Structure 1
Amino acid sequence: MTKKDLADLLKYSSPREIYVITHYNVLKRIFCPFQVQVLQKIGELNTGQIVFVDEVKATLELKTVYIIKNQAYYYYHFDIIV
């Protein structure tokens, strides 16, 4: 995927919200900042710590990245607290 393709795709998304499916199969829109729990120690964050996601971004490979305290982390290091 080129940068132009990514830009075209991202013009329909917002870095301030994310859609999730709950345990009850309900689609829910969550606005930033939202809380997540750290699954494993990464960077300055410790396992079990609750932190706020300030923005949601995407890489060129379309992997979701959370911006937390001005640092980028892949989404799979966290559980969203709904």
Structure 2
Amino acid sequence: MTTSAQESVLDLISELLVEKFEVPSNEVQASARMRDLLTDSLMVVEMAIAVHEVLGIKVEEDELRGSTLGEFAEAVEARRTDR
């Protein structure tokens, strides 16, 4: 997985959901709740680790559980540009 400047954080996280976590692509929408996409606590932990590895951004498990995909991507993007 690459992190080209042209690829958005939303696209990268969506790609992780589909490729790593095998979430059906038709379910990966900005309005989808992350807790519905990541159906168990291990998936939440693994997503936090994957976001850190791919984007270099540390995220908390509560952030993943409490937001939509779009909200989560915006929060990660904000941290990414603050660096």
**Normalised by the size of structure 1, how large is the TM-score?**
0.30
Higher relative contact order (CA 8 A, sep 6+): 2
Higher strand share: 1
TM superposition score normalised by structure 2: 0.30
Larger radius of gyration: 1
